[in-house]
Structure 1
Amino acid sequence: MTEKAIDFAYLSRQTAGDHELERELLTLFAQQCIVHLRVIDDSADHQQRMDAAHTLKGAARAVGAWQVAEAADRIEEGLAGPQREASESALDALALAAAEARAAIARFDCGA
């Protein structure tokens, strides 16, 4: 389902069709995925985990990675909720969505 991982039409509208800018934004987003997923998975600091989920959600929305944004939002909501924890299924959904987005980005870069 990686063809839906990034909304390239949305990204193109955001960048006014500037292919180099798209590539730059997607490269940055792919790097952010790695960094923020690591914090969400490995950090013992609750606030850092919430901040990482929130930042990743915003970055995903900026490039049209809607599945990543939705999954990060579920993580953020779980961490902000009464249990103050993200479910394993939410963590798995975020990891999968991020992997699919990164695969779509790799194909985009190869096709350029």
Structure 2
Amino acid sequence: MAQQASMAFASPGGEKSKPSRKRPIDLVHLTRETYGNRALETEILSLFSRQTCGIVDRLLHANTDERVRLAKSLKGSARAVGAFRVAEMAEAIEQAPSDSRKIRDMEPVIDDVRDYIAAITR
């Protein structure tokens, strides 16, 4: 059985694609991390989507130490999948865990990422 083309390289010319931080998920980065395994890409994105479900509420209600731990975990996961904007925002929370505004500002960015994941994994 032939392996299905990775998400980033599914279109003609995709193999020449450059990483993009403009999209919610950098698919070229993800494809490189998964060696082009489409099933693995889908599984990783699904896990990331589940991880981010409710993360803003958990961060808002967490104490400072928990916020740092949650933000650090989110940052690592986001970098691994290519959700670089989420990673940057999580790092900002990690650096200033008392700033609830940074947490609330992340909510629409996470919503965009989750919507993007849902769209590309159908």
TM-score norm. by structure 1 comes to: 0.83
Q: Which has the higher contact order (CA 8 A, sep 6+)?
A: 1
Taking a change above 3 Å as real, the CA distance of residues 92 and 60 of structure 1, as seen in their structure-2 partners, is same
Give unpaired runs (5+ residues) of structure 2.
1-21
Match of 2:39 in 1: 20
Match of 2:105 in 1: 93
Aligned-residue offset at 1:87? 4.2
**Stretches of 4+ aligned residues off by more than 3 angstroms:** none
Match of 1:48 in 2: 66
Cα distance between partner residues in 2 of 1:62 and 1:52: 16
For 1:62-92, what per-residue CA distance to the aligned partner results, in whole angstroms no more than 9, with x for missing partners?
000001001111111112xxxxx1241x223
Taking a change above 3 Å as real, the CA distance of residues 87 and 46 of structure 1, as seen in their structure-2 partners, is closer
Aligned-residue offset at 1:100? 0.8
Indicate the SS of the match to 1:4. coil
Give unpaired runs (5+ residues) of structure 1.
80-84
Cα distance between partner residues in 2 of 1:46 and 1:74: 13
Aligned-residue offset at 1:37? 2.6
**More helix per residue: 1 or 2?**
1
Cα distance between partner residues in 2 of 1:15 and 1:9: 10
Does residue 57 in structure 1 map to residue 75 in structure 2?
A: yes
Does residue 104 in structure 1 map to residue 105 in structure 2?
A: no
The counterpart of 1:5, out of the listed 5, 24, 29, is 24
Cα distance between partner residues in 2 of 1:100 and 1:107: 10
Does residue 75 in structure 1 map to residue 93 in structure 2?
A: yes
Asked if the contact 1:71–1:94 (Cα under 8 Å) also holds between the matched residues in 2, the reply is yes
Asked if the contact 2:24–2:113 (Cα under 8 Å) also holds between the matched residues in 1, the reply is yes
Does residue 29 in structure 1 map to residue 48 in structure 2?
A: yes
The percent identity for this pair of structures is: 34
Instruction: Say what the alpha-carbon RMSD is for the aligned residues.
Output: 1.4
